[in-house]
Structure 1
Amino acid sequence: MKKYFLSLAVVSLFYTKSDACAWSDPDYEYFNLFTQSIIKDKSYLPFLHSYSTRFYTDFKPNQIPDENIDAWRKFFNNQLTFGETDYLVNKMNINDLNALKKGNPTNQLLTKLGTGFYQKYHEGIDYLIEAKYLEPYMRINYVESPNSFYFNETQAEKNATNLDYNKTISALTSLYNAAKNPEIKQRYGYQLVRFNHYTRNYDAAAQAFKTYVAPIKLKGTPYIMALDQLAGAQRGLGLNSEANWNFFQVFKDSKSRKESAFVSMKLSDTASFNNILKRANTDDEKNMAYFLLGYEDFNNPIPIMEKMFEINPDSEILKVMAVRSINELERNYLPIYYYSSNDNNATVQTTNNVNKTTDQPETEAPEVKKEELSFWQKIVRFFKNLFGSSKDKKSTESKAGQDDDELLNNPDRIPVFTKNNYWYDEKSKDFLDDLEKFTDKTKEKSKDEYWQIADAYLKFLKKNYKASTEILNDIKTTNPGYLEEIKRMKVLNDIVSRPKIDAEYEDHLMKDYAEYFTEKEVKKDSTETTDYDYYGEVPSTKDFLKDVLANRYFLQGEDGKSYLMNNKLSDLQYNPNSSLVKSVEDFYRKPNKTQFEQQIIAKNINDVGSIDAFFAVIYGDRAMRQADFEKAKSYYQKAQGFSGIPRAEWNYYAKKQTPLQYPANVYNGFNNISDLVFGHNVWESYQSAPEESMEKENYSQFPFIKPTMNKMELADALVQLQKIGTAKNEKSATANRLIGNLLYNTSILGYYRQLFVMDIDNTNGGKYDFRSTNKQNPYQYYYKNFLDRSYIEPDNFDLAINYYKKALDISSDKEQKARILFQMASAEQGKYYQYEAQNPSNIDYSDQKWSEKMDAHQKQLDQIKNQKYRTYFALLKTQYANTETAKNLMGSCSYFSYFMK
């Protein structure tokens, strides 16, 4: 287990660095379902689990107790509230206190307290006046390194050396001797130690502690503050062991100084811990020493927790150790992002800002506990299997017909744990088991309900929802933080354990758990800053439940609902996959939607102009790519109200994103298509103007091909070309060649590749990726990562080739035949690219023979390319090399020129 935590710490280090440029924060990459901050002793808040900062910071500083203010409240006999005391001690102007001393207070709080307040507590007020005078100077003087070459802004600040040393020491000593109250006396002693420390008179600081602090037999707040300063002076003297021990005492006894004392201890090695542990005499000291040792990530916490348990199972710091471990496990088991692939049955759990893919072989499925079936259930299952359907288990129809057992036992149900998790380690599962055993033992000994809650959560991670809920139901507590966590976990168990999400259960969600799904207006505290958050909102319970439901709908075959749980309707433009679009449309047109479907899912059906036209364009585009021009025309006839692909642009005046307004003469996804789409390449340059990259054919025989067309007119022109192409003359040959041109020009290789994939231009992107899936649906889980991968049907280059073949067979013009063969060869090149993308090398870069194997793989690809995907280049070379067309192509196409030579 020690190896586990070391590897995790190293991975965390590199992970944080690598994501820094991507505006990523690892503490935004888990749902925080088990709230760390429910620990009762808030002085330990900085020591909760965090990857992005050295100490946990997701709390308000005023949540940490301040023993100094508590001590002053006690000194003033609780006459002031905590806030009033804090104001008096830390914020009130020194002039106000002097005015109170003179008997004419003007400050509102002091006026309320009256002049008698000073007479009663004059020693305390006099001390505060002196402390406020000294405070601006109470920092150590900066000593510049001889190698410094830049200005350090601390040089310009006041420090202790700006005060007259002898005069200050004399004044503090005099005030110390005059004070009668032991606590105030000790506070002056603290100031003497601090002043000497900050003026680098370390020996004098140590002597001041012995002379003015230690003799007063009080071990309260002033003593802790003075001890903190003594430890600093000892560090300056090189007495590191003594300094560490005293900082350790501060860490143990102080509530507000734990973080600073921990930093000051400088525990960089095991020996430092052992020195403290050797000096620890009391159980409290030993317990605290073990905590410091277990806190560091390079140690396995459970053996340390066992030692702490033996000392005191009710220890608050033991709970801190446990909550850190639980937080670690949550990151392993409940990632906020699943990059899943059904292509190679591989899954990667990762972040919402960084995509991680894998080409590794099939991963081990998460362990599912074997279900104990009754004799009757076995008989029922036997006959179901015997007479059941042989349909693909991953088809939508098959998914929809699953019973509760099949749904519950699906290994892809979230939460899921796989070896491809970014944070995965071989020991992670064992660690969950070990921590569960420890928690189960501790809840029997400790009187704190925390351990029952922790045990219930660990059982939730292990998918034992029934046992988790039973534990939660038995907990009796009045702690508000505990009650909120119990409530949340009951909701989690209820939803995650549900076999199927149906209409009845959706009504239950809205009736009993609406707060976890509806949007809330967040009102910020007036004291909170409004800095821009680069990382977005922190993932929440609501986000986790949304993911769970999206996954459930996906496994049930309700892809449209699954998609809309995490995506907008307009997002379909980036991956216009026909089957998914149909499922989304079915949900859109579904009558009598439940309240959950209306308020939670349908709200993501955002503005795309005419929704009917939006769907019609996607379907029409797909029909065009399949060369079904009649069907495409019928869809485009329904898309007359299409207002443009729903893109957004930054509105400088409105200071927000607003819908993109397309100029009247610009392609918007439907209108303004040039007749160059029927032409051919002059050269391959997607960035060049259409007239530079493309050349028109002779359209004089086809007056229905207009210079500029919309998609319905384009489809109509293709329908007419198809009819003309059925004849056996030069005109029909030209008609077939033009159809072939259009299919090639709108493929992934063509200049107009954007036309039928819902894009506004031909710039690169996921849609123009040969690495497409052979499966109808490549997703293993759900559509949360929808925009991060290509998910459209691949081009069928044979469609273009078939039309070219017709033209080749009919035409008698040798020059035209040469041009047609070149076009066919270009389309055949597309088929090769598809083959190459589907057959990657999968050679590990760490392989010692990587270079040799890569060369062999490339040689094999070249051989296959020449044997199977150079048919038309070969014909062009052997039969039409002497044509003017071939000679011109050699000048404009370097690859063809190379092939010909």
Structure 2
Amino acid sequence: MKKHILSLATISLFYINTQACAWSDPDSDYFNLFTQSIIKDKSYLPFLHNYSSRFYTDYKPSQIPDENIESWRKFFGNQMSYSETDYLVNKISLNDLNELKKGSPNNPLLNKLGNGFYTKYREAIDYLIEAKYLEPYMRINYVEDANSFYYRENENTKNAQQLDYRKTTSALISLYNATKNPEIKQRYGYQLVRLNHYTRNYDAALQAFKTYVLPNKLKGTVYYMALDQLAGAQRGLEMGNEANWNFFQVFINSKSRKESAFVSMKLSDSASFSNILKRAANNEEKNMAYFLLGYEDFTNPIPMMEKMYEIDPDSEILKVMAARSINELERNYLPTYYYASKDSNINSDKKEHIGETEKKEIEKKELSFWQKIVLFFKNLFGGKKSDKTNEKSEQSNDELFENPDRIPTYIKNNAYYYSQNENEKDFLNDLEKFTSKTKEKSKDEYWQIADAYLKFLKKDYKESSEILSEMQTNNPEYLEEIKRMKVLNDIVSQPKIDSEYEDHLMKNYAEYFIEKPPVKKDSTEINEYNYYGEAPSTADFLKDVLANRYFLQGEDGKSFLMNNKLSDLQYNPNSDLVKSVEEFYRKPDKTKFEQQIIAKNLDDVGNIDAFFATIYGDRAMKLADFTKAKSYYQKALNFSGIPRDNYEKYNPETEKYEKFVYNGENYDGYNNIPNLVFGHNVWESFQSPETKSMKPEDYSAFPFIKHKMNKLELADAMIQLQKIGTGKDAKAAKANQLIGNVLYNTSILGYYRQLFVMDVDNSNGGKYDFWTTSTESPYQYYYKNFSSETFIEPDNFDLSINYYQKALNISTNREEKARILFQMASAEQGKFYQYEAKHQANIDYADPKWSEKTDAQEKEMALLKNQKYRNYFTQLKNQYSDTETSKELLGSCTYFSYFMKR
């Protein structure tokens, strides 16, 4: 796993286990292949589906025009644009309007409108002057109480209570009476209702609505603005049902106030919905009532959608429900990363879920074929990697297509940011049936697009493509969605990605794979910082699909490079994966797709051949094959150091961040290994300086052990020690002991554990976890988020023990024997840790006997440890407890001290 300040590995671990993160944006964690916002009535955009906020926000506010501005524009004879009207109503200064009234306008817009504008629209301009004066005060005063927790330092402190109530009311009534135009008259009525609402004169607000709004008999924009204020006053009088009903009317009839009306309704119980449904006098009101109920309870939207369908299958609000439903399904079928490994029970239900189309296909096959499938998965989940890879590459198109691990695939409760409702279900089949029948009734092509997309999720790509090819529409948003879905169907339906199909990708879909250079922005443009980074795109999804296809085909190197750079291998230098990546690197006849899309990730490691050679040499060292390691290290002399994200520095001369240049003393992945690697630890502390944690041995008999070495010199020293170790004297004993020390010190338990796992220091990270050291791959789909898993072969502690045993057999010095036995006991402890990690109890925390079972498991492990993994501690205690070495160890090793006293 990758290591940064506040280790990303640690963050990822918490992220996976808790399946929720306060610092993550759930709406940047799915591909959004079905664009919800293609609904035609944009006033419903806030009610589309998302998790990070109560209302959908991924749209431009300008997509929902303010009907008040539209109303004013119409009133002024459409001689101004929408933006000009908005400027006149909301932004122009009070002083500018007064100058217009005096006949001496100084504002460019007012000059454009001409001198006769005020004469023609005198009542409207006089109203705007009064409204603009009142506007800063038109808010209710905030009353703090003992439980208030609200930061208001920069808030506008003006409120309606600061106005002279009697004077303001009298002025508005006077203006109302003097006005002839009924629309302007009604606007004064709106101001009277609003003033009384915000001054908490709720009864007066109700009366003002009856007296100054209703008599105008207009039910346009202003009427619903006033009704919104009336409902607020009714809420203040605790007239809950009346308030809800009026807010409901505002919700139905307003465009820009739907969101605020919905919040104001406070539909907190089923009775509130029932009251609205009972009062619904027409199909539109009933339809809206059902929408509100379905919007609040979203475990299974189909029953409510069926009710809405019976009322009006062409309803725009029904499309909103469908968009929300599809979005919910997409998050479970197409996550940006599959967090659970195949050994996890998190997505075990996925194995049991097979779409109807897949079931029909499987039923057509004979049992012998099914047996092949079973055999395939037995090999997939076990056996040697090489065997698995060979069998993968030999699969037929049918076997590849029917593999349940092909994306898309359903993962229950993948939407971990949302409440984990036990009633949540995969309603894909039900929704697909619903859209199929609705598209026959509705005239809107939306339902055909929705139906095609759901068939895509069900892996019925042929049917999906046929629906799309028959569609005819002039809607630009629909056309864009159709184009994208045709590409998705083509790529995802391809059973095997071969060279011919890669040529097809480059010929037809290169725009989805070739990264475009960033657009240069004007120097005056403000760059907004996106905390969560770029949201996943269609191109990202297609890359994941191809990575998954290569993975299932056994082309691990190509699969890896679709989602990662070559340098990422440093986080998990697994030998088989490295070999597969190298095979692709050395492939002579790469296709255009492989050259431009995949090979571009063979990046920033300097000399690539030296990079691979270092990894192979490291693995050979871990396996104590020092001669082989030396041969690789000879090819790695040009190794340029381990590339690390957090080892980059800004170079002011080039104005770029460049890889950190080592000063000649730091360990860089190849050079500057101290001779303390041959020593033994004084105490276990990875954070302490090496001179405090480690103690050197006597190297005087081995002059080839230099104070600082590179890996080639270290391998050569180990070879020389091996030769000396074949003897029978004290020097041979020491040589074997030193070899054992290096193997232990570079193991997961050793101070120099970073030396042979492509790391620059021994600070903690995923590659030092015992629980993930199985040779079985933790990856089920592809190698995305590669640094969040551990994929390194485990240490073989028997190798160091064997060399220690040789030293023990030859040595005649009791003090040295005591030290050797302690080192052997330490390595044996590593073997226990490996066993323990692979035999976890996995007791459910909800189990009422969790504590009892956990204690029993711990006792069982303790017994096993003492019976099978304390052989060398026992020998040290029984035979060498009188040595000075043992006495010294009693003071530095707490566990040894405890063991000796038992």
Query: 1:443–1:452: 8 Å Cα contact kept in structure 2?
Result: yes
Q: 1:429 to 1:512 in 2, by over 3 A?
A: farther
Give the AA of the match of 1:396: T
1:584 aligns to what?
581
Return 431-440 or 413-422, whichever deviates more: 413-422
1:536 aligns to what?
533
Distance 1:437 1:686 in 2: 60
Distance 1:825 1:782 in 2: 39
2:323 aligns to what?
323
1:559 aligns to what?
556
Query: 1:546–1:565: 8 Å Cα contact kept in structure 2?
Result: yes
1:507 and 2:507 aligned = no
1:413 aligns to what?
406
Query: 1:506–1:594: 8 Å Cα contact kept in structure 2?
Result: yes
Give the AA of the match of 1:507: D
Distance 2:650 2:605 in 1: 22
Q: 1:524 to 1:462 in 2, by over 3 A?
A: farther
Query: 2:373–2:399: 8 Å Cα contact kept in structure 1?
Result: no
Distance 1:228 1:672 in 2: 75
Distance 1:544 1:830 in 2: 41
Give the AA of the match of 2:192: L
Distance 1:289 1:527 in 2: 48
2:627 aligns to what?
630
1:640 and 2:629 aligned = no
Deviations 1:235-276 (CA, angstroms, capped at 9, x unpaired): 222222211111111111111111111111111111111111
Deviations 1:862-893 (CA, angstroms, capped at 9, x unpaired): 22222221222222233333333333333332
Alignment of 1:203-602 (within 5 A): 203-297=203-297, 300-342=300-342, 344=343, 346=344, 348=346, 364=352, 366=354, 369-370=358-359, 372=361, 395-419=388-412, 421=414, 423=416, 430-520=426-516, 521=518, 530-602=527-599
* Cα RMSD, aligned residues only: 3.0
Q: 1:820 to 1:361 in 2, by over 3 A?
A: farther
Distance 2:864 2:415 in 1: 37
2:173 aligns to what?
173
Q: 1:385 to 1:432 in 2, by over 3 A?
A: closer
1:353 aligns to what?
none
Query: 1:392–1:398: 8 Å Cα contact kept in structure 2?
Result: no
Q: 1:130 to 1:382 in 2, by over 3 A?
A: closer
Return 602-611 or 250-259, whichever deviates more: 602-611
Deviations 1:320-364 (CA, angstroms, capped at 9, x unpaired): 11111111111111111112435x3x3657xxxxxxxxxx89964
CA drift of 1:392 comes to 6.4
Distance 1:485 1:539 in 2: 16
Distance 1:44 1:420 in 2: 27
Q: Report the 3-state secondary structure (helix = DSSP H, G, I; strand = E; otherwise coil) of the residue aligned with 1:748.
A: coil
Q: Which one of the candidate residues 616, 619, 628 is aligned to 2:616? A: 619
CA drift of 1:834 comes to 0.8
Q: Report the 3-state secondary structure (helix = DSSP H, G, I; strand = E; otherwise coil) of the residue aligned with 2:771.
A: coil
Q: Report the 3-state secondary structure (helix = DSSP H, G, I; strand = E; otherwise coil) of the residue aligned with 1:206.
A: helix
CA drift of 1:55 comes to 0.9
Return 712-721 or 179-188, whichever deviates more: 179-188
Query: 2:332–2:412: 8 Å Cα contact kept in structure 1?
Result: no
Distance 1:883 1:893 in 2: 15
Distance 2:407 2:145 in 1: 56
Distance 1:761 1:16 in 2: 25
Query: 1:836–1:861: 8 Å Cα contact kept in structure 2?
Result: yes
2:733 aligns to what?
733
Q: Report the 3-state secondary structure (helix = DSSP H, G, I; strand = E; otherwise coil) of the residue aligned with 1:338.
A: coil
Structure 2 stretches of 5 or more lacking a match?
Answer: 1-13
Return 618-627 or 528-537, whichever deviates more: 528-537
Distance 1:151 1:773 in 2: 50
Q: Report the 3-state secondary structure (helix = DSSP H, G, I; strand = E; otherwise coil) of the residue aligned with 2:339.
A: strand
Give the AA of the match of 1:798: D
CA drift of 1:74 comes to 1.4
Return 127-136 or 668-677, whichever deviates more: 127-136
Q: Report the 3-state secondary structure (helix = DSSP H, G, I; strand = E; otherwise coil) of the residue aligned with 1:761.
A: coil
Give the AA of the match of 1:581: V
Q: Report the 3-state secondary structure (helix = DSSP H, G, I; strand = E; otherwise coil) of the residue aligned with 1:624.
A: helix
Distance 1:176 1:126 in 2: 11
Return 722-731 or 143-152, whichever deviates more: 143-152
Distance 2:208 2:415 in 1: 54
Query: 2:350–2:409: 8 Å Cα contact kept in structure 1?
Result: no
Deviations 1:56-113 (CA, angstroms, capped at 9, x unpaired): 1111111112211211121122222222212222222222222233333222222222
Distance 1:270 1:301 in 2: 16
Distance 2:335 2:90 in 1: 43
Return 561-570 or 813-822, whichever deviates more: 813-822
Query: 2:97–2:129: 8 Å Cα contact kept in structure 1?
Result: yes
Query: 2:832–2:865: 8 Å Cα contact kept in structure 1?
Result: yes
CA drift of 1:33 comes to 1.1
2:600 aligns to what?
603
Q: 1:492 to 1:256 in 2, by over 3 A?
A: same
CA drift of 1:630 comes to 0.7
Alignment of 1:2-41 (within 5 A): 22-41=22-41
Distance 2:810 2:595 in 1: 57
Distance 2:882 2:87 in 1: 96
Query: 1:139–1:198: 8 Å Cα contact kept in structure 2?
Result: yes
Q: 1:128 to 1:339 in 2, by over 3 A?
A: same
Q: Provide the aligned length of Structure 1 versus Structure 2.
A: 875
CA drift of 1:422 comes to 5.4
Q: Report the 3-state secondary structure (helix = DSSP H, G, I; strand = E; otherwise coil) of the residue aligned with 1:145.
A: coil
User: Of the two structures, which has the highest relative contact order with CA contacts closer than 8 Å and spacing of 6 or more?
Assistant: 2
Distance 1:69 1:140 in 2: 24
Q: 1:161 to 1:844 in 2, by over 3 A?
A: closer
2:55 aligns to what?
55
Query: 2:775–2:791: 8 Å Cα contact kept in structure 1?
Result: no
Return 741-750 or 167-176, whichever deviates more: 167-176
Deviations 1:397-444 (CA, angstroms, capped at 9, x unpaired): 221121111110111111112457455877655522221121111111
Q: 1:507 to 1:295 in 2, by over 3 A?
A: same
CA drift of 1:525 comes to 10
Q: 1:395 to 1:519 in 2, by over 3 A?
A: same
2:816 aligns to what?
816
Distance 1:776 1:329 in 2: 31
Q: Report the 3-state secondary structure (helix = DSSP H, G, I; strand = E; otherwise coil) of the residue aligned with 2:139.
A: coil
Distance 1:19 1:385 in 2: 32
CA drift of 1:678 comes to 1.1
Q: Report the 3-state secondary structure (helix = DSSP H, G, I; strand = E; otherwise coil) of the residue aligned with 1:337.
A: coil
Distance 2:17 2:895 in 1: 43
Return 522-531 or 879-888, whichever deviates more: 522-531
2:9 aligns to what?
none
CA drift of 1:684 comes to 2.1
Alignment of 1:59-138 (within 5 A): 59-138=59-138
CA drift of 1:595 comes to 2.5
Deviations 1:104-146 (CA, angstroms, capped at 9, x unpaired): 3222222222112222222222222222222122222333437
Q: 1:822 to 1:19 in 2, by over 3 A?
A: closer
Structure 1 stretches of 5 or more lacking a match?
Answer: 1-13, 350-359
- After TM superposition, the score normalised by the length of structure 2 is 0.91
Distance 2:529 2:284 in 1: 43
1:722 aligns to what?
722
Query: 1:364–1:418: 8 Å Cα contact kept in structure 2?
Result: no
Give the AA of the match of 2:410: F
1:5 aligns to what?
none
CA drift of 1:15 comes to 10
Query: 1:314–1:447: 8 Å Cα contact kept in structure 2?
Result: yes
2:3 aligns to what?
none
Give the AA of the match of 2:506: M
Give the AA of the match of 1:689: P
Give the AA of the match of 1:438: F
Q: 1:460 to 1:399 in 2, by over 3 A?
A: same
Identity of aligned residues (%): 72
Query: 1:347–1:420: 8 Å Cα contact kept in structure 2?
Result: no
Query: 1:439–1:451: 8 Å Cα contact kept in structure 2?
Result: yes
Distance 2:523 2:34 in 1: 28
Deviations 1:533-561 (CA, angstroms, capped at 9, x unpaired): 22222122122111111111111111111
